[in-house]
Structure 1
């Protein structure tokens, strides 16, 4: 009885490995949240036209979308001693250096130079460094964790992301309110937040190695452009992921949150309350692994999308009622969790579907196509946010009721509409039901291929 060893749980992830992998979530989440203040920085500190800023950000994100496709192709072709996706983690340094420079534009410059500076740094951050970070992440993950661990690592690192978001969303509005009007204040804000999270974020590269070889069928084959085009024609699930990602970004990234709190509630500092409320939803992350076993990824995401619609409508109805807005925001936060943390599982499953259909897995390419949709959706959202402000005649010195209503609609009802489109897309996603057979067939094929390779080597010797 005492001699029996406890059976190892294949889904178990060591504490050290969990925190090492999750370390870059700290950096990524902080950077995304800081960029959410860019429109506010441009209009209220650099005194630039919101419509022009929105259009320029849209152009830069369109460029970003194009580089996503190139980055995914490059990552899928990468072969190095460090691995396939791991080398691109070093792009984190470029991300933070250029983010600092983006928020350090000399205020004495003319408007044209300000536009050029902000646009250039924004393109470097998002179209180059973050693009390769994102393109390499999925490839890196599936080669560093067993298949049984993927649901857990995706769900539980979501706790890190949400926890960091909670802290940053409390700290940043206070820093913005205190330093944004001070000369060099934005540079101070970026350094205060950026240096610690950069040091933490590089820990993934330092401690996590790629251990699992998923390219057993591709040792002598090179991925070509026509392989990518063939995959896009044959794999409908990639298109469902693309449409969902695009419409979600279009509805949620208009960048009007800071304006909402300043003009509707009268205080940017109150925006910190949204994080205090959102943290209440975090325990639900622990439910994801079990809920996916009981239901599936699609059903969990459907429930989340419905919650997002309801919460967004509550936020709109709340008007100037802060308490009611926070209730709606909590519901939105609960609804956003599945889409945020489970979309990568849909990418993994789509790659397995490719393998099942005797195509290259191409996680990097699928991730890049999804990233392309994310950038293009974000680009249009950025333009839309600026155009909404311009259309309603927003002027920081004299805010009208029309401007306030435009901000309210863009911040609440637009996300509700995007969630409804997401629900429609999910109704066509039926890959979950096929995955048990797909995984079994793929595992069998890999073992047979490995045995054939070993047999060939033995014969040669």
Structure 2
């Protein structure tokens, strides 16, 4: 059983919050780049069809069903070192994940055969997402439970993690379109060599952020190695019967479907429908600032008062309602579209800010019921669900773009761009309503239940 270790580690404080923020900052230098620009890069620069790229991304996420859970087991069974149980993995794997991400965006191969480019996409994407990203993201996410056992501290970590991802969105979403596009025949077109350069810079920045995370964060809750005999059937049964985990899995999958669908479509709706690539930067800037100014300061306070589950349900419904209004109004002015999008991101931002604290609530709930703490395994299953959301969003967007006839040659046809606009609204509407329903009918950890679990675990550990 986990216990608190206060003998030589300084008290939880701002260094931990900043360190945890830098961890997700590092993650998202590669993750958000992939979510927002990889499909655009391979369709417009490498000449691979959107449907094929989406299918590759989807298949890769099913590979993660094995690599995520395997990494979770490795983490759970690893013995704590002088640096802790989870922190060492961040230092070990930061280089490989950054290099693998950079290799994905090699525009020098644009003139190679279709088969070569497809194989290159498959190999580099699997190396980045299914192996190296998994090997750093699972320990990083699991580490929140070891930094502090206090639910308020964990909500704070979740908030600062969201700040990290928002800053990454700000840098990538705002800066990349300003640099990556060139004007050809009056239309904004993605420049392959510039994307390669950007990917290299982001990989270096990712490594710097990971090192800052490693140096600033400290683990305080001792989580011993799980030496129980590996029982895959038992693990599967425990996970399937864990209603809290099933609820957060459903919510996470649908959240990623909606959120990454929104992000993925920005690379098409702004340069193609509105013919304004610069507006994509403005949209990312405004949305990121809104999350930092509105969501980050208020999320912890609102969650403490009303509960994380309760706040998240309202958050998702506000986001869905914003895009429903956008679909009905059908703005021809790009700045009106940005207004609706920003309002949706503010609504969604509250849920996205506290969701990382919700998974630690799920881990606590499982420990209360089973008496065994399996941070790595539970987080790995949760991470896999998020990757499925990423995969389904990529496959869905690729399929929908192909359905409306999008290719490099038809990128600015009136019928095609009208389809792009509708996709950009309908995907988040359906996805966010589904998230709210999953939280209402499946996820059981309301404010009262979370507080009861925290008190019970504190009693078992002999804490005051």
TM-score, normalization: structure 1?
0.88
- Which residue does the alignment assign to 1:376? 388
Q: Give secondary structure in 2 for the equivalent of 1:406.
A: helix
| Aligned 1:5-404 pairs, distance under 5 A | 13-35=12-34, 36-81=36-81, 82-89=83-90, 90-105=92-107, 106-147=109-150, 148-178=152-182, 184-215=193-224, 221-222=228-229, 224-254=231-261, 255-278=264-287, 279-283=289-293, 284-316=295-327, 317-398=329-410, 399-404=412-417
Instruction: Give the structure 2 partner of residue 408 of structure 1.
Output: 421
Greater relative contact order, per chain length (Cα 8 Å cut-off, separation 6+): 2
Given the superposition, is the C-alpha separation of residues 253 and 164 from structure 1 closer, same or farther in structure 2, using an over 3 Å criterion?
closer
Task: Name which one, 1 or 2, has greater alpha-carbon Rg.
Answer: 1
After superposition, give the CA deviation of every residue in 1:38-90 in whole Å (9 maximum; x if it has no partner).
11111111112222222122111221233212222221112141332222213
CA contact (8 A) 1:347 1:363 kept: no
- Give distance in 2, aligned partners of 1:150 and 1:192: 31
Question: Matches of 1:418 and 1:116 in 2, distance apart?
Answer: 32
**Are the equivalent residues in 1 in contact too, given 2:18–2:160 (CA < 8 A)?**
no
- Match in the other structure for 2:7: none
Using the TM superposition, name which of 73-82 and 98-107 deviates more: 73-82
Q: Distance between the aligned counterparts of 2:240 and 2:111, measured in 1?
A: 52
Q: What CA distance in whole angstroms lies between the structure 2 residues aligned with 1:66 and 1:414?
A: 28
**Cα distance 1:221–1:324, how it changes in 2: closer, same or farther (>3 A)?**
same
> SS in structure 1 opposite 2:85?
coil
Q: 2:227, 2:405 → 1: CA distance?
A: 60
Shift of 1:325: 0.8
Q: Is the 8 A contact 1:264 1:320 kept in 2?
A: no
Q: Output the CA distance in 2 between the equivalents of 1:186 and 1:219.
A: 43
- Matching residue of 1:455: none
Q: C-alpha separation between the residues in 2 aligned to 1:69 and 1:200?
A: 25
User: 1:292 Cα shift?
Assistant: 1.6
Distance, in Å, in 2 between the alignment partners of 1:395 and 1:355 is 50
Q: 1:17–1:373: structure 2 CA closer, same or farther, 3 Å change rule?
A: closer
Residues 297-338 of structure 1: per-residue CA shift (max 9 Å, x gap): 011101110111012223333342212211111111112212
Worse-matched range after superposition: 17-26 or 129-138: 17-26
Tell me the equivalent position of 2:4. none
SS of residue in 2 equivalent to 1:259: helix
Distance 2:96 2:382 in 1: 22
Counterpart mapping for 1:439-454 below 5 A: 439-447=454-462
User: Are residues 181 and 344 of structure 1, via their aligned partners in 2, closer, same or farther at CA, if it must alter by over 3 Å?
Assistant: closer
- Calculate the aligned-residue CA RMSD, in Å: 2.3
CA distance in 1, matches of 2:436, 2:457: 30
Aligned residues of 1:69 and 1:369 also touching (Cα < 8 A) = yes
**Per the alignment, do residues 28 and 422 of structure 1 end up closer, same or farther by CA in structure 2, a change over 3 Å counting?**
same
C-alpha displacement of 1:13: 4.7
Deviation (angstroms), 1:178? 4.2
| Residues 211/252 of structure 1: CA separation in 2 closer, same or farther (3 Å cut) | closer
Deviation at 1:127, TM superposition (A): 0.3
- Counterpart Cα distance in 2 of 1:223 and 1:437: 30
Indicate the larger mover: 301-310 or 185-194. Answer: 185-194
Q: Is the 8 A contact 1:310 1:331 kept in 2?
A: no
Would you say the 8 A contact 2:240–2:246 is kept in 1? no
CA–CA distance in 2 between the matches of 1:17 and 1:444? 25
Alpha carbons of structure 1 residues 124 and 423: separation in structure 2 relative to 1, 3 Å: same
Q: 1:101 touches 1:121 (CA, 8 Å); kept in 2?
A: yes
Work out whether residues 312 and 351 of structure 2, in 8 Å CA contact, stay in contact via their aligned partners in 1.
yes
Q: Is the 8 A contact 1:60 1:127 kept in 2?
A: yes
CA–CA separation in structure 2 for the residues paired with 1:303 and 1:181? 37
Tell me the SS of whatever aligns to 1:431: coil
Paired residues of 1:65 and 1:375 also in contact (CA < 8 A) = no
Structure 2 gaps of 5+ residues are 1-10, 184-188
Deviations 1:355-384 (A, max 9, x none): 211342222222111111112222122122
Matched, 1:430 2:444: yes
- Distance, in Å, in 2 between the alignment partners of 1:23 and 1:419 is 28
SS of alignment partner, residue 37 of structure 1: helix
Shift in Å, 1:171: 0.7
